[in-house]
Amino acid sequence: MNIPYVALKNLKRKPARTWLLLGIVAVVSCTLFAATLFLMSVNNALLIGTYRLGADILVVPENAEIKVQTALLTGEPTQFLMNKSVLDKVKTTEGVQSVTPQLFIKPASFFCCLTEDVFLIAIDQNTDFTVKPWLEKNIGRMLSTGEVIIGGKIPVIVGDTVPFFGSRFIVAGKMEPTGMNIVDRGVFMSMDAAYAMAENSKVRALQLLEIGRDKISTVLVQIKDDTRPDRVAIRIEHDIPGIRALVSDTVISTVRKQLAGLIRAILAISAVLWLIVLMIMAFAFTMIVNERRREIGLLRAMGANKGHIAAILLIEASLLSAGGSVAGILVGFGLLASFKNLMLHHLKLPYLFPSLWTFTGLVAVAFMLSIMTGLLSGLLPSLVALRMEPYDAIRREE
């Protein structure tokens, strides 16, 4: 007996019911797969972005706290200044291991990519620990005053020339995407290049950039191994008036807490939806068994054993689950790809698609869960069918 063939023919006999069950499985698979993939991508971006930031604490002017948090999470360009003397004061704080300044500049329109907001970030190449490791690994030298490196989302290539405030810079390198827009849409240059750009804007640019060489935007801090970031942050704020010391992990953990709540909600919804689908399919196959009593009795009378009957029902349930799962995964991925940017715009979250291996694993888990659902939903009806005696099953339908 060709059991898969018989199971497939049985599904074709009732196309409306078959498509309804396929649709139910597909909707649930689509919802759960897309939601799980979205949350995994956000968490992936947070992990990589935190690693790339490399700082335990960010010291900023006290009126710029919200701007920094928004910039870190969404990459929205911002600009604020404080006196460079803060750097030396932070350096002498107990528990601080190393510090480096950065200068944030919000540029005017960017001629080659009008749809992209870019974020100019100037670094001190002698003390930097966020971008310098990438420079050493990929370029092997420091940037000159006429060079920049750019994030992975900016649509220019290495060797292109880009203008800012009347000065032109050659793109010396392009970093790989991290999912954090502050990096992916960042244009990194040296402090000397930024100060020179500001000075030259007086005669070269339509928009004046007023930044003195005694100004910076933030101080990035790495702490000693035997200290806690929150304790060092309190000391910095106590010793230096007019600033805020933000623990970087605390900024990121706010989003992680939101994600944790979403994950718990999705797990709860997943469990409920899975039980509903399981009950619907089990009920449907119980009805199928009742409809086919005579057919089952005839098959048994013709020589089919109990294993054949159970296999037919289980394969039918598995085919429905597999088909619905494949359709749901494809639709879920398509919807997420189509509306990802819209969701990120409203939720203001970083996003980085997981690796191919992680994605493949997620697809495999979703598919196997659907197959398991089909097998479980067909198990009880199969047991009912196994208890039927051929003669009684045939006579019952007469």
Q: How confident is the model at residue 68 (pLDDT cuts 50, 70, 90)?
A: confident
Check whether 391 has a pLDDT greater than 60: no
Report d(CA 127, CA 90) in Å as an integer: 14
Give me the residues paired with residue 98 across strands: 222
Question: Is the predicted pLDDT of residue 1 greater than 60, yes or no?
Answer: no
Amino acid present at 170? I
Q: How many CB atoms lie within 10 A of CB 379?
A: 15
- Residue 114's pLDDT is what? 43
How confident is the model at residue 113, as a pLDDT?
47
Query: Which pLDDT score is estimated for 102?
Result: 94
Residue of 159, 141, 349 whose CA lies nearest to 150: 159
For residue 261, pLDDT over 50 is answered with yes
Tokens standing for 105?
Answer: 């500049």
Counting Cβ atoms within 10 Å, is residue 78 exposed (0-12), middle (13-18) or buried (19+)? middle
Average pLDDT over residues 2-28: 82
Smallest CA-to-CA distance from 188 within 242, 147, 227 is with 147
Q: Which of 10-14, 22-26, 160-164, 251-255 has the highest mean pLDDT?
A: 160-164
pLDDT for 262 beyond 90 = no
Residue-wise pLDDT tens digits, 341-351:
676 666 666 67
The pLDDT score that the predictor gives to residue 271 is 79
The pLDDT tens digits of the residues spanning 283-339 come to 887 777 777 666 666 666 666 666 777 777 788 888 888 888 899 899 988 888 887
Mean of the per-residue pLDDT values of the chain: 81
Nearest Cα residue to 90 out of 82, 81, 98: 98
Mean pLDDT of 18-23: 86
Is the pLDDT at 385 greater than 80, yes or no? no
Do residues 194 and 120 make contact, with C-beta atoms less than 8 angstroms apart? Answer: yes
| Per-residue pLDDT at 4 | 77
Residues 140, 162 contacting (CB under 8 angstroms): no
267 has a pLDDT exceeding 50: yes
Is the pLDDT at 62 greater than 80, yes or no?
yes
Q: What is the pLDDT of residue 219?
A: 93
Higher-confidence residue of 98 and 294: namely 98
Tell me, what's the pLDDT at 51?
55
pLDDT digits (tens, 9 = 90+) for 181-233: 778 888 999 999 999 999 998 888 777 888 999 999 999 998 888 888 889 99
Query: Sheet harboring 161-164: ordered strands across?
Result: 161-164, 167-174, 147-150, 186-190, 119-123, 96-105, 218-223, 57-61, 243-247
Specify the amino acid at residue 237.
E
List the Cα angle 361/363/366 in 5-degree steps.
110
To the nearest whole percent, how much of the chain has pLDDT over 90? 26
pLDDT for 88 equals 92
End-to-end Cα separation, the chain, in angstroms:
26
pTM of the model: 0.64
The b/e string for 333-360 (b: 16+ C-beta within 10 A; e otherwise) is beebeeebeeebeeeebbbbbbeeeeee
DSSP code at position 63: G
Exposed e or buried b for every residue in 163-188, given b needs 16+ CB within 10 A? ebbbbebebbbbbebbbbbbbbbbbb
Locate tokens 């003397």: which residue? 85
pLDDT digits (tens, 9 = 90+) for 102-130: 999 988 655 444 445 788 999 999 999 88
What are the structural domain ranges in the chain? 3-47+254-396, 53-247
Task: Round to whole Å and give the CA distance between 180 and 155.
Answer: 16
Of 285 and 156, which is predicted with more confidence? 156
SS3 154: coil
